[in-house]
Structure 1
Amino acid sequence: MSENNPSSNPDDNEPTCWVTFTNSAQQKIATINFAEKSHAPSARKLSIIDLRVREFLEHRVVKLRIHDLDQLNKLAYYFDTNYQKPVYRDQGNYSWPLETKLERNAPEDVKNKSGLEEFEHRTFVEAQRRLHRYVDTLPDDEDILSWLAFIRHHGVPTRLLDVTKSFFIACYFAMQDNSPGQDAALWIFQRFLYNRAFFEWCRLHKESVLRDSPYTNVKYGEPYYWPFPKNLTRAKRTITYDSLRQRPNMDILDLHAVLEAAMYGLIDKPGFAVAEPYWLTLRMDVQQGAFLIPFNVRQSFQENLFSYLSFDKSQDLCSDTDEIKFPEDVNTLEDIITFVPVIKVRLCSSMHELLRIRLNTMNIRDLTLFPDIEGAMQHISSHVPVKRK
């Protein structure tokens, strides 16, 4: 066995897993199971530090199944005490796809031909034209992320995917959108691991990241006539590859400049980033909000995610066939999730009622997360019992 493939007979003190291989040479792993025993005849025991195990986990969404609050608390404790903080995304139904509101209900012709960025930019312009009549304080005109975040939190479809920096706030929203008897999902995005992906993205694509125009020649629906621009200097400004560079003559780009170009529909390659708007509403602040932002909305969010992180594109994110049983040993858990870019946690329905009670005692509820009349009404409504399985 070479140095790059440690022995398949790990030391008794090392965290281990059971694996099956795609070939007889035992170079590429097909499945991983962290249970104490494996019933597969071809399974072999490997140390978690084996490079084959690490490579397998780094190139796919790792799925964990959680049955009770003790397991949930172990996971939360690890991330809350780790200085590298992830962000979290909730889903009330485990089988829901990971997609933005902008792409969810859009016609296929618009996604693939007309381009969603044109319609997203229309919402940005129309919001700037009208919202000053209803809101006293608004973001700066050129702060496009703050504008998209503001209208997104008022129900307008955008490319932004809401996340939070709080583990238990994400659990709360998963419970809020959950139906009786359905497993929920908690997504964990390890943002500190994405810098390497961005450097590789810059190196791989270079000048090809930009498209000439955010608009295609394919039209959809009634014609839209753009209003006279408020800021002519901004309207005449062009974004070039040179303007995206961190420094002159360097191929490493500035992430914030790339994100701005993406939100104007000028980035042609898939990718995504985690970002927080400069201008925060009270809701975003108390919910510890941030956003996942896909670079290219002519492709789905999942395609942006998988391409950017070089994930195995054949993986079915809603299937339970490759789920990992939650490891009871804390060291094993830490070794699994330390270098995994994305984790999807199944919150089994059997634990939901206790989780709701726990979250309420932690003061994570509508009244605190929605500090306005809507939140107060939702809190009052919670006193009416709801049938649950």
Structure 2
Amino acid sequence: MRVVRLTHWKAFVEETERLNGWAFRGEISANWPLMTSLARRLLAYCPDRSLWPLREMRALRIFRRKAHNYLRDEHPLRDDLRSLSLMQHHGAPTRLLDFSKSPYVAAFFALEQASSDAAVYALNTPRLWSTAPQSTPHLTRDVIDPRIDGHFERYFWPNVNPVIWFGEPAEMDRRLVAQSGLFVVPGRIDLPLEQLLDSYDPHTELLTKYVLPIEMRHEALAALYRMNVTYASLFPDLEGLARASGYELEMVWDRLIEDYQHRPAGEDAAPR
């Protein structure tokens, strides 16, 4: 994995503009490995890795048995990837890693709540489209496609195949569309993504890590705000609008500050 430490926002824009067709993921800490929420949960509370497949399938089975009570249309529950997508969307730990086709969306998620150096990972999906692990050259992206009935159970659930699949569910929800999102699905959750990629072509750059120093945060988020990359646009619902208020606390235009400072004596109303 190539690591690039940047010093200003313009450098990030220049670097990522060259990566046509790649996928991007933001992490609020540059020290975090690329691991799924499911792996982090199991590593913390379920040390016996031999039982991880059993635990994962049990969680998926229970979700499917009960989620229909909250859905107008329950046919997504018949699809493995869409079921996992629903779980991920509503906060469950899954083996899905959220990526975006937009480096700016990834940068927003990396920096918005960062308190130290953050990172954006760039995944060479054009190259991964047609390649496979050297130990299992027959397990190409098309062969292991988890959207096909039975493939998740065959290629991913056993947690033994060093494969990576990426793509979208057959039907995408509004958030996934708004975020230009896609999922990366690892065949092994006990290994970070960068280690899984070591089993692929060692002569091709498949993953790049861009370290974004915390000093870049204000400049980057101001630029992203002007691009309308905010919680309100990325989560097109009331939750997104409410979460966007956090950054509105930081963004106060100079005119508003001047008006507030020169308000008539005794006027306590906040600027609007």
- Alignment TM class, shorter chain as reference: 0.7 to 0.9
2:235 maps to 1:301: no
Give CA deviations for 1:230-256 in whole Å, capped at 9, x if unaligned: xxxxxxxxxxxxxx8x9xxxxx97131
Q: Is the 8 A contact 1:259 1:295 kept in 2?
A: no
Aligned-partner Cα distance in 1 for 2:120–2:43: 28
Deviation at 1:162, TM superposition (A): 0.9
SS of the residue corresponding to residue 29 of structure 2 reads coil
Contact 1:197 1:308 (8 Å CA) reproduced: no
- Secondary structure of the residue aligned to 2:114 is coil
The yes-or-no answer on 1:68 pairing with 2:8 is: yes
Please list, as runs of the form range in 1=range in 2, the aligned pairs for 1:150-165 lying within 5 A after superposition.
150-165=86-101
2:166 to 257, 269, 274: 274
Structure-2-length-normalised TM-score: 0.80
1:185 is matched with 119
Deviation at 1:289, TM superposition (A): 1.2
Question: SS of the counterpart of 1:140?
Answer: helix
Contact 2:134 2:201 in 1 (8 A): no
| 1:260 paired residue number | 152
Tell me the alpha carbon deviations over residues 273-292 of structure 1, each in whole angstroms, 9 at most, x when there is no partner: 21211121111111111111
Residue 187 of structure 1: SS of its match in structure 2?
strand
1:360 matched to 2:249? The reply is: no
Unaligned runs of 5+ in 1: 1-60, 207-243, 247-251, 313-338
- Aligned residue number for residue 140 of structure 1: 76
Higher fraction of helix: 2
Residue segments in structure 2 that go unaligned for 5+ positions in a row: 252-272
Question: Whose radius of gyration is greater, 1 or 2?
Answer: 1
How many corresponding residue pairs?
248
Give the drift of 1:118.
1.6
1:108–1:348 Cα change, 3 Å: closer
Deviation at 1:261, TM superposition (A): 3.3
Aligned positions of 1:271-350 closer than 5 A: 271-297=163-189, 299-302=190-193, 305-309=196-200, 339-350=204-215
In the TM superposition, what is the alpha-carbon distance from 1:111 to its structure 2 partner? 5.1
In the alignment, the residues of structure 2 paired with residue 76 and residue 285 of structure 1 have an alpha-carbon distance, to the nearest angstrom, of: 21
Could you tell me which amino acid in structure 1 is paired with residue 153 of structure 2? A
Aligned to 2:111: 175
Give the 3-state SS of the residue equivalent to 2:211 in structure 1: strand
1:100–1:160 Cα contact (<8 Å) kept: yes
Residues 1:377 and 1:153: Cα distance change in structure 2 (over 3 Å): same
- Structure 1 partner of 2:50: 114
Amino acid corresponding to residue 5 of structure 2 in structure 1: R
Structure 1 residues 201-240: aligned runs within 5 Å: 201-203=135-137
What is the aligned counterpart of 1:198 among 124, 128, 132?
132
> 1: distance between equivalents of 2:155 and 2:55?
12
User: Structure 2: how far apart are the matches of 1:199 and 1:271?
Assistant: 6
Q: For the structure 1 residues 68 and 165, does the alpha-carbon distance in structure 2 shift closer, same or farther, using more than 3 Å as the test?
A: same
Contact in 2 for aligned 1:190/1:341 (Cα 8 Å): yes
Further displaced range: 167-176 or 105-114? 105-114
Q: Secondary structure at the match of 1:364?
A: coil
Separation in 2 of the partners of 1:344 and 1:277?
26
Local SS of the residue matching 1:96:
coil
Matched residues in 1 for 2:213 and 2:227: separation? 21
| Structure 1 pair 264–363 and aligned structure 2 pair: CA distance change class (3 A) | same
Query: 2:53·2:157 contact (CA, 8 Å) conserved in 1?
Result: yes
The 1-side partners of 2:211 and 2:194 are apart by 22
Does the 8 Å contact 2:197/2:206 carry over to 1? Answer: no
CA distance in 1, matches of 2:125, 2:13: 21
Structure 1's 188 and 303: CA in aligned 2 closer, same or farther, altered over 3 A? Answer: closer
Counterpart Cα distance in 1 of 2:180 and 2:129: 22
Cα shift readout 1:142-182 (whole Å, capped 9, x = no counterpart): 31011101111111011111111111000110112311xx1
TM-score (norm 1): 0.58
Deviation for aligned residue 1:360: 0.3
1:162 partner amino acid: D
Q: Which amino acid aligns with 1:308?
A: S
Distance in 2 (CA, whole Å) between partners of 1:87 and 1:360 is 21
Q: Structure 1 residues 168, 188: closer, same or farther in 2, change over 3 A?
A: same
Q: CA deviation at 1:195?
A: 4.2
1:296 Cα deviation from its structure 2 partner? 2.5
Please state how far the C-alpha of 1:347 moved relative to its aligned partner: 1.0
**Is 154-163 or 299-308 further displaced after alignment?**
299-308
Q: Structure 2 vs 1, CA of residues 108 and 176 (structure 1 numbering), >3 Å: closer, same or farther?
A: closer
Compared CA separation, residues 341 and 118, structure 1 to 2 (3 A): same
Amino acid in the other structure paired with 1:342: L
